[in-house]
Amino acid sequence: MTITERVPLASLTTFRIGGPARFVAECSNEDDIEAALAFARERGLPFFVLGGGSNTLASDEGFEGVIIRPMFGEGPLFEDQPDGRVLLTAGAGAAWDALAASAAERGLWGIENLSGIPGTLGGAVVQNIGAYGAALSQTFAWAEAFDTETGSVRRFLPAACAFGYRDSAFKRSAGRYIIMRTALSLSKEAAPNFSYHDPNRSYKDLSRALSANERPSAAEVRAAILSIRADKFPDLSKEGTAGSFFENPILPEAAANALRARYPELPLFPMPETADIKVPLGWILDHVLHLRGYELGTARLFERQAMVIAARDGATAHDVDALAREVAERVLDATGIEIEREVHSLYASKNSFHRAK
């Protein structure tokens, strides 16, 4: 385990925002986690688990506690299974997109639509990442996680994870479980998922983007996804972002249809995790509220995707938070929908976080 003091959280998050963390503990195995928790306990400090920092808005004041970074990097290991599928196993610290690339290169199907999402495998599981008609939960086989309350390691099968839209049991019990490694079940059989439709883009959907190829490979689907993402999200080399800042509202079918009765052009989408309907918040922000590109202080809604908050150099968490609050208020006033944030907030207050027991 490596412990470093006064590390700027801006250097650990894709928003590039945040004051200093009192301590950062990089953990490579179970013993390191135990040592990091003991370190926090001895000093009476809270801890916060941070992977790739791609879904976190850190406080301008920093965090007076211990940031635990799971760096488990073993794998990826690809193993043929008796049912003809392939099990991909890797440490929680593995870069998610590198795993998606490795799977596509091997002609394996199941996570190609999730290409280009930043962050780590552990964070992907906690968030149950999803994009372009796919969700991680559709391929999830198991995860091994360290229980910070009991000091034991537990294997979670899909049912125990209670996956939902951008949600999981790990997310709802934030701080208790630290994912160490995960396995995903992938298919050798071609299974392109063309269910994604984007009414704001010229090609409308993946099938049209790949229209020249009737039988695309997993690698070709991945390339199309990366092209779409490059057009919709800020360039991380130029400005900070955590991708989509808000969750799309998930409504019962009747409520979704009632909203579309008010806005006939509103597209609605079925969800892989639930029988309810996804309402594209980006469409509301763009076509109802006309907020694409709206700026507040050092933060703005991205010009090509209003779900995304972009932060220029020197941006503050205060400005991002203020912009997000204003957006939520406007959506509520216009539609009656209370939107939720997809991005986690790391506040400076000691009272906001888990304490080692």
- CA-CA distance, 79 to 303, in Å (whole number)? 43
- 244 catalytic? Reply is yes
- Given the residues 244, 292, 300, 341, the one annotated as active site: 244
- Given the residues 16, 69, 166, 181, the one annotated as active site: 166
Residues paired with residue 23 on neighbouring β-strands, in sequence order = 5, 66
Quick check: bond before 76 cis, omega within 30? yes
- Given the residues 69, 185, 341, 342, the one annotated as active site: 342
- 303 catalytic? Reply is no
The enclosing H or E element of 243 equals strand 240-244
* Helix, coil or strand: residue 144: strand
What tokens does 205 get? 């959907």
- 342 catalytic? Reply is yes
What tokens does 112 get? 């190609």
Angstrom CA distances, 215 to 220, 229, 255, 345, stand at 9, 22, 38, 42
- CA-CA distance, 234 to 256, in Å (whole number)? 30
- CA-CA distance, 69 to 48, in Å (whole number)? 9
Dihedral of CA atoms 230, 233, 235, 241 in degrees, nearest 10, equals -150
- Catalytic residue positions? 166, 244, 342
